[in-house]
Amino acid sequence: MLDSVSAILNALASGDASARQITERSLDAIAQTDPKINAVTHVAAEAALATADDVDRRRAAGQPLGALAGVPIAIKDLICTTDMPTTCASRMLRDFVPPYDATVIRKLRDADAVLIGKTNMDEFAMGASNETSAYGPTRNPWNHDRIPGGSSGGSAATVAAGQVPASLGSDTGGSIRQPASHCGITGLKPTYGRVSRYGLVAFASSLDQIGPMAWSAEDVALLLETIAGYEPRDSTSLDTPVPEYSKAIQSADLRGIKIGVLRDGLEQDGLDESVRKSVTEAMQVFIDLGAEIVDVQLPHSQYWVPTYYVIAPCEASSNLSRYDGAHYGHRSDADIDPADGPLLSMYRHSRQEGFGSEVKRRIMIGTYALSTGYYDAYYNKALKVRRLIRGDYDAAFQQADLLLGPTAPTSAFALGDKLDDPIQMYLCDLYTVGANLAGIPAISIPAGLDDSGLPIGVQLQAPALEESRLLFAAAAFQSQTQFHQLRPGKP
């Protein structure tokens, strides 16, 4: 039952299960499986059981309940919660408990969801393998020697391991979709501003977006309905009505829908043949559902990764400058360097001890690109290319309603395989960063297995604020395939 939000809601409504029983089952699953995969950084057992008991009491009394009443949900460890630490998987924020809830947390609490705990992640969301965490790497439930993807690897793994039916992640360059692909679940990056970033610890402010992760498009739609919406305290939040996404998935008839395919993307160096095969087979499924496949061009797609890896580190270097040991976060007790004096010495030692190597690398890249004499050559030029990339998408959506392609170039690779090669690690984002640069929604859905039995996902992208269209197509695909019903260790 812990692999379906809708099944839990039905069981609770019919009286076949109580919220406490569901929550206890989730806590038991974490206790049994997490020592092997390291997906959870904090378990809020007492608070979760208290919420579950309150849901059961109110249900018995016939009182109104929220849309997710009694459903256990795990939260990526960079989303602020007043009753749990928010550490960003970093020594810099070890044991930090925020004084306020993020907007998405407030919305989940209002919906009576059971917040089960926080999930592991790449430090400050910087990584594609969940290996940069101060808590150690998360392991893929399908194969414990493989990475789960990143940076929301813990959020994907906790669902794939059967600990919770759904989770929240964040996506800056593919950090929801790529781990969803590697763990065989469904993950949605909404339109920039569709879900408020208020209370999300910032990595790259113009790219970050919170989104839902679950086994099916149906469950993702239920979560998105709850967390989406305007937040006046967030200047990037969109003040537009929230559709009933769950109603968008009632039909599996795709007649009249045009799905664009970037043929050049399927010929990219480094794209595994099993991924190419899964995309080709997905095209046929959509054709059988009535959709028309058309070829599209995104002329500046070869600049996605270099553009992203200028803009994101620049914004990160600015956002992470606040962690200096003076206001909050780690403060070094190291001896004062006479040459620096007490203040500068404290800054240097605190940042040196608090940040991991990948975070330091990106801070240095961003600081360099923003420095005098290089701002125009790097950051400003990257912003101009970003506008061209958005223009490519605008033109493509004149020809097609959706775009289909790979989520990741390969299935999950071995732990440690790319940890010492940053360039190869960055190329894991080859197919996902475009949606972040353009601010459009995208979803990864399970679409196959490779020869070793590891999951493969395909990605659908849509115009801004067309999450309903994405979920409609994804649910139609899942109505004709069984990949989202496959589970680790089960035939």
Mean pLDDT in runs of 10 for the chain (491 residues)? 91 97 98 98 98 98 97 98 98 95 98 98 97 98 98 98 98 98 98 98 97 98 98 97 92 93 88 97 98 96 96 96 89 88 92 96 96 93 98 98 97 96 93 98 98 97 98 97 93 63
Instruction: Say what the pLDDT of residue 1 is.
Output: 63
Write the CB contacts of 472 (distance below 8 Å, at least 6 apart in sequence).
248, 249, 251
d(CA 455, CA 487): 10
For residue 445, which phi and psi values (nearest 5 degrees)? -125, 145
Tokens (6 digits) for 474: 């994804």
Which residues, including other chains, have CB under 8 Å from residue 12's CB and lie 6 or more apart? 18, 19, 22, 55, 59, 69, 70
> Which pLDDT does position 269 carry in this prediction?
84
Catalytic (active-site) positions: 76, 151, 175
ω before 151 within 30° of 0 (cis)?
yes
The pLDDT of residue 251 is 81
Owner of token pair 């992470």: 320
Q: Are 11 and 124 in contact (CB under 8 A)?
A: no
Residues 6+ apart with CB under 8 A from 465: 191, 194, 238, 240, 441
- End-to-end distance of the chain based on CA atoms, in angstroms? 18
Per-residue buried b or exposed e for 238-252, using 16+ beta carbons within 10 Å of the residue's own CB: beeebbebbebbeee
Query: Which of 457, 388, 482 shows the shortest CA–CA distance to 156?
Result: 457
Those residues whose C-beta lies under 8 Å from the C-beta of residue 280, and which sit 6 or more positions away, are 266
Q: How far apart are CA 341 and CA 348, in angstroms?
A: 11
Contact (CB, 8 A) for 210 and 79: yes
pLDDT of residue 2: 83
The burial class, CB within 10 Å (0-12 / 13-18 / 19+), for 273 is exposed
Q: Which two tokens stand for residue 339?
A: 């040459």
Comparing CA positions, the residue from 456, 410, 434 lying closest to residue 185 is: 456
126 φψ region: left (φ > 0), alpha (ψ -120 to 50), beta (else)? beta
Residue 491's pLDDT is 63
Exposure string of 44-57, with b = 16+ CB inside 10 Å and e = fewer, is bbebbbebbebbbe
491 class by beta-carbon count within 10 Å (0-12 exposed, 13-18 middle, 19+ buried): exposed
Furthest C-alpha separation in the chain: 73
Please state at what angle helix 304-319 crosses helix 381-399, rounded to 10 degrees. 130
Beta sheet of 442-449, edge-to-edge order: 40-43, 114-119, 72-76, 166-170, 210-214, 186-189, 442-449, 455-461, 402-406, 258-261, 292-295
Please work out, in degrees rounded to the nearest 5, the angle formed at the alpha carbon of residue 183 by the alpha carbons of 181 and 186.
55
Burial of 232 (0-12, 13-18, 19+ CB in 10 A): exposed
d(CA 470, CA 472) in angstroms, rounded, equals 5
